[in-house]
Amino acid sequence: MPDQHGRDSGDFPAAPWWAAAPLLDAAAHTRVGLNPTEQARAGGYLQGRPREDFTAGRILVRVLAAGLLNRALQRQGTVHASDLDIIQSCPTCASSAHGTPSLHLPHGLGSFALSYARTAGWLLLGLAPGTGLLGIDVAEPADAAFAPGDGDLLEDYAYAPEERELLAALDPERRRDTRARWWALKEAVAKAGGEGLTGGSGIPVVAGPQPHELLRAPGARVIELSPGALDGLGNPLPGHLRGAVLWVPGSAG
Ligand SMILES: [Zn+2]
């Protein structure tokens, strides 16, 4: 199907695109580095695993974005991860140390909305052409927060009454799985909206008769990421993760 640049992209899927990789993959990309803002932020993480995971995640954002751009723009091998940069800006306080990310590309490649998430040793990336709203998130159903018992606390806090009613009708295993899937979608909606989960309008409602307005926006696309789903680079999502991507297209970039 023709993409927003008017080219036919063959068997490459329609936007939004996503890709997933284990954080360990970052070690193979020694020429890809972080910008000074990210290096300062990495220094704020505890030494060892937390700092290594943050750094690996930011390297993989560039690597996966380059891979998707090469396919989306049919420029195989011409977009390099080391040419890409990640710029963040906070809509609330204008800080560049956190907030909505955007991808900084070499001149002439247009603009792309960017979102990413890091969970359970993996990095997931979402990418879409233009300046629309994009959010991606990933959750691990095995996380204790989604378990019966512990999960009830999360359920009371994070799920609306109409969502809790739907969850209560499920058997324990499906309930746990659905909690994780909806949690990922809530995070994706919150990221797309730029407000975060604790924004003014509260935790987004994603199921029932009146889901969040972004899920009902004209042209909105939601992709549920299930185990085995193939990403834009041909790699399957591993069995322990559930995820979601929300894209509300804006003007073409
Ligand atoms: Zn801020």
Q: Which of 13-17, 154-158, 227-231, 240-244 has the lowest mean pLDDT?
A: 154-158
CA distances from 178 to 20, 36, 92, 190 (A): 21, 39, 32, 18
Mean per-residue pLDDT for 118-133? Answer: 95
Residues of the domain holding 236: 17-248
> Residue 181, CB half-sphere, CA atoms under 13 Å: how many?
15
Q: What is the pLDDT of residues 86-112, one digit of tens each?
A: 988 887 888 887 888 989 888 778 889
**Can you give the pLDDT at residue 251?**
53
**Can you give the pLDDT at residue 4?**
45
Percent of the chain surpassing pLDDT 70 = 93
Residue 100 belongs to a domain: yes
Question: How far does CA 206 lie from the centroid of its chain?
Answer: 16
Polymer length in residues for the chain: 253
Residue for token digits 């927060």?
A: 145
Angle, nearest 10°, between helix axes 172-193 and 150-158? 40
Mean per-residue pLDDT for 196-211? Answer: 85
Task: Name the H helices within the chain.
Answer: 36-43, 49-72, 150-158, 161-168, 172-193
Residue 1 reports pLDDT greater than 70: no
Which domain CATH number covers 23? 3.90.470.20
Q: Which 3 state secondary structure label does DSSP give 71?
A: helix
Residue 202 belongs to a domain: yes
Q: Which residues line ion ligand 1, judged by CB < 5 Å?
A: 90, 92-93, 95
User: If you measure from the C-alpha of residue 123 to the centroid of ligand 1, how many angstroms do you get, rounded to a whole number?
Assistant: 23
Residue 138 belongs to a domain: yes
Contacts 24+ apart (CB under 8 A), 89-97: 91/194, 96/37, 97/37, 97/40, 97/41
User: If you measure from the C-alpha of residue 55 to the centroid of ligand 1, how many angstroms do you get, rounded to a whole number?
Assistant: 21
Integer Cα distance of 215 and 193 in angstroms? 11
User: If you measure from the C-alpha of residue 91 to the centroid of ligand 1, how many angstroms do you get, rounded to a whole number?
Assistant: 7
Q: Which of 45-49, 81-85, 151-155, 185-189 has the lowest mean pLDDT?
A: 151-155
Which has the closest alpha carbon to 212: 190, 196, 191? 190
Q: Which of 58-62, 91-95, 189-193, 216-220 has the lowest mean pLDDT?
A: 91-95
Residue 171 belongs to a domain: yes
Integer Cα distance of 227 and 241 in angstroms? 6
User: If you measure from the C-alpha of residue 228 to the centroid of ligand 1, how many angstroms do you get, rounded to a whole number?
Assistant: 36
Integer Cα distance of 193 and 179 in angstroms? 21
Q: What is the pLDDT of residues 31-66, one digit of tens each?
A: 999 999 999 999 999 999 999 999 999 999 999 999
**Can you give the pLDDT at residue 9?**
46
Residue 1 belongs to a domain: no
**Can you give the pLDDT at residue 150?**
61
Mean per-residue pLDDT for 9-33? Answer: 90
**Can you give the pLDDT at residue 76?**
75
Residue 59 belongs to a domain: yes
Residue 253 reports pLDDT greater than 50: no
Residue 10 reports pLDDT greater than 80: no
User: If you measure from the C-alpha of residue 11 to the centroid of ligand 1, how many angstroms do you get, rounded to a whole number?
Assistant: 40
Structural domains counted in the chain: 1
**Can you give the pLDDT at residue 237?**
97
Percent of the chain surpassing pLDDT 90 = 70
Mean per-residue pLDDT for 219-242? Answer: 96
Integer Cα distance of 75 and 253 in angstroms? 17
Mean per-residue pLDDT for 149-161? Answer: 80
Residue 184 belongs to a domain: yes
Contact by Cβ (8 Å): 167, 43: no
**Can you give the pLDDT at residue 62?**
97
Residue 8 belongs to a domain: no
- Contacts of 31 by beta carbon, 8 Å cutoff, 6+ apart: 81, 82
